[in-house]
Structure 1
């Protein structure tokens, strides 16, 4: 049974979405069962669950088919896409267990976004980096670790702003900074290009799709103009997921093309396990520390408030059923 916006605590509501909410304080088993129910998170879950399975199969294929060290960054690149969409799937599926669990789920989601920023940087570093640019290249991966951790910290903190619009804007700005840094080599490569190649058009296209996804997410389009009409499907978060999915798919195609066609043009060293995994482990450790920090500062007052709200809602429903029965 889906609920209206007046039947759920404020922490579970979305602006301009009036119906389709799941009941708060569900168990993990009930959240899993809701995967096959119709509510306002159904589209959000499936638009990232399907890409997770797709990219997981793709990562296995990349690891099995091409075992050369030259292909290792591609495996890391695709694995990052799996982590990103997988964390998002978990966040949207289990976010209604409690207020505390909702925050933790989205902390993990933000960590997944910062991790994919690093793994994409690794893919760009070995396959799509502009010829030359040695000064940027020497600091690019370490900078990705720092920017990714900063974006995770700012996004986790944004969940506790009092104004919802500030939350969305802060998250978009923090991950926009991360994405801008990650995309910097592509922008330099495009600016230095003597002629426009087909693959550069592909790179521009996936960047444009990501910008469109960010705009839709922040502007809350289309539900801002038609509140209640896109409660279940077609709301801004769903559209953002779809645009994001096409963006990362095109991004993978472009980076794969660069791997296969620029090998003889670049003089990059053969990657080692330490060069690939050490920055990744550093970022994971930093994100874990950030998540633990925000969890430790979480007040139990909001949790008690959500539970008391649910008790009042159930009591009111029982009274309504009682009086309806008496009226009959």
Structure 2
């Protein structure tokens, strides 16, 4: 059936505008002015994005199944103790689905690419808050329960999600209210300083992860003796932490393709491995917090802070609203002027067969 459909053509790095370039990826690029139909058809051909899409799209259904099981079996809406798990599982569904959609439709235009990844960043920061909410409810070590840090943990995590989304979006376009000045538009970080933009995104997502995991790191690595919650669940937390650190390493280093540019364009490059390790880390994280919740349920109900709407569902809704506002603020300038201007080449080399404007 697919043999009867004309699949979109793929291009090399020299045939697409700079804004679409990926570090050490030489070939397999889709047309930078793809239609929505072309983007969907590209799911069924091998490009440098194909596995990026599927490695997040398929796990979405697994996490959705887990979410449905919690809603149907544990009757989450009737028991506030289950609300944090519900929010966490919802965030586990949202971030891979948003990522797969961003990778799918990011080649419709440079504007679409930026906006798609704005939503991707927002979904990741929401997942960060989901992790903080579920950690506050079930994972905190016994001796930290009801401490001052525990009381302010969720409010700080909410603030971190706003900072994370804003900083990640800024790394692509700079300050949105300056973008109406077309002279400023020539200085978009993503176009002019891609490495600096990447470092900013690493910081944007590493910071909330490290903060969210302070109670977990203390519990599994530093706490000894009474009140340290030393249970069999800790081995699952070790798996999650190891895979999460590997995920960050792959995202920051662009290995293995940096060692052999062009050799991992379609299969095995860092972003694919980053997706796989991230999903596996989320799986072990989910298994660990579910086990913590079940094993510690009676003790937590008696000793932990009460789970309220404000500390769970309310915080999640606030995060969604704030992230949408940030995404809108950063997206509006893209509709009023060119996205970026590439530097002119003095030797008069002709642009190759993609034949598209570098800005659009």
- Same fold per TM (> 0.5)? yes
The structural deviation recorded for 1:212 is: 1.0
Q: 2:62 and 2:263 mapped to 1: Cα distance? A: 31
Among 167, 172, 178, the residue aligned to 2:197: 167
Q: 1:282 and 1:193 mapped to 2: Cα distance? A: 36
Q: 1:3 and 1:50 mapped to 2: Cα distance? A: 26
Q: Hey, what does 1:210 align to over in structure 2?
A: 244
The structural deviation recorded for 1:197 is: 3.5
Structure 1 unaligned spans of 5+: 306-310, 318-328
The structural deviation recorded for 1:193 is: 3.6
- Within 5 Å, which residues of 2 pair with 1:308-327? 313-314=352-353
Structure 1 residue 128 and structure 2 residue 139: aligned?
A: yes
Q: 1:254 and 1:316 mapped to 2: Cα distance? A: 51
Structure 1 residue 38 and structure 2 residue 68: aligned?
A: no
Question: Would you say the 8 A contact 2:83–2:313 is kept in 1?
Answer: no
Question: Would you say the 8 A contact 1:100–1:303 is kept in 2?
Answer: no
Structure 1 residue 288 and structure 2 residue 301: aligned?
A: no
Structure 1 residue 187 and structure 2 residue 217: aligned?
A: yes
RMSD over aligned CA atoms reads: 2.1
Q: 1:193 and 1:149 mapped to 2: Cα distance? A: 34
SS of 1:198 mapped into structure 2: coil
Q: Hey, what does 2:150 align to over in structure 1?
A: 137
Q: Hey, what does 1:278 align to over in structure 2?
A: 314
Aligned in 2, Cα 1:293/1:316: closer, same or farther, shift over 3 Å? closer
SS of 2:72 mapped into structure 1: helix
SS of 1:301 mapped into structure 2: coil
SS of 2:252 mapped into structure 1: helix
The structural deviation recorded for 1:316 is: 7.1
- Within 5 Å, which residues of 2 pair with 1:82-101? 82-101=93-112
Question: Would you say the 8 A contact 2:31–2:354 is kept in 1?
Answer: no
SS of 2:339 mapped into structure 1: helix
Q: 2:244 and 2:304 mapped to 1: Cα distance? A: 28
Structure 2 unaligned spans of 5+: 1-8, 174-188, 343-349
SS of 2:262 mapped into structure 1: coil
Question: Would you say the 8 A contact 2:118–2:327 is kept in 1?
Answer: yes
- Within 5 Å, which residues of 2 pair with 1:293-304? 293-298=329-334, 300-302=337-339
Q: 2:224 and 2:28 mapped to 1: Cα distance? A: 49
Q: 1:297 and 1:315 mapped to 2: Cα distance? A: 26
Q: Hey, what does 1:80 align to over in structure 2?
A: 91
SS of 1:229 mapped into structure 2: coil
- TM-score, length-scaled by structure 1: 0.90
Deviations 1:56-104 (A, max 9, x none): 1110111110013322221111111111111111110110000000000
Q: Hey, what does 1:58 align to over in structure 2?
A: 66
Deviations 1:98-134 (A, max 9, x none): 0000000000000001000111111111111111321
Among 99, 122, 133, the residue aligned to 1:111: 122
Q: Hey, what does 1:155 align to over in structure 2?
A: 168
Larger relative contact order (CA 8 Å, sep ≥ 6): 2
